[in-house]
Amino acid sequence: MPEIVKELEQKLKLMNGTEHETIEKVDILNKLSWELQQKHATRALELSLEAEEISQVLGYQKGQAYALCNEGMSYKHLSEYDQALIKCEEALRLFEMLNDQSGKVSTLHSLANLYENMGENEKALRYYRMCLNECTEHQEPLIRISTHFHIGKILVRSNQIISGLAHLHDARNIAIEAMDKRNDLPN
């Protein structure tokens, strides 16, 4: 199990002894849910449902939005696509209302990935492109890399080779730039 999961599980264990539900607990539940979704989707769903419930009690809308997105992705990994779409769309509306750019970008990417998994490539492309339009240069490069990669892959599969290769090339360039920046960091 990855170290981050162990750390988050330990923090959560320590918090379960406290009387009050807190924003910090919601954030830990959401982070842990995100980390577990691919290999332990049922557990990730349980954590995100708990995070959503506590968020509603606390009036913590940002926590609720991330919980909804996590629920959507957990449902995706459980092949419950209708539920996944509902939860991700709810999350997107909440992120838009909160003007949370990072959450909005992440949710757009999640929706695109969901449609791609469902074989609805036109909808996937639309959401991936919306995601790219919302991304900024300061955004985590991994989401920009992944978005260009997925667009490129879909376009190449649909025989739009030149356009697809251009996106794959963009993904490569962003990755190289990100690695160069990391190598410039002092030790």
Q: What digits encode the pLDDT tens for the residues 160-182?
A: 999 999 999 999 999 999 888 77
60-103 tens-digit pLDDT:
999 999 999 999 999 999 999 999 999 999 999 999 999 999 99
CB 65, CB 91: distance < 8 Å: yes
Q: Which amino acid is at 45?
A: L
18: left (phi over 0), alpha (psi -120 to 50) or beta: beta
Q: CA 154 to CA 13: how far, in whole Å?
A: 42
Q: How high does pLDDT run on average in the chain? A: 92
User: What are the E-state strand segments in 57-139?
Assistant: none
Q: CA 68 to CA 49: how far, in whole Å?
A: 8
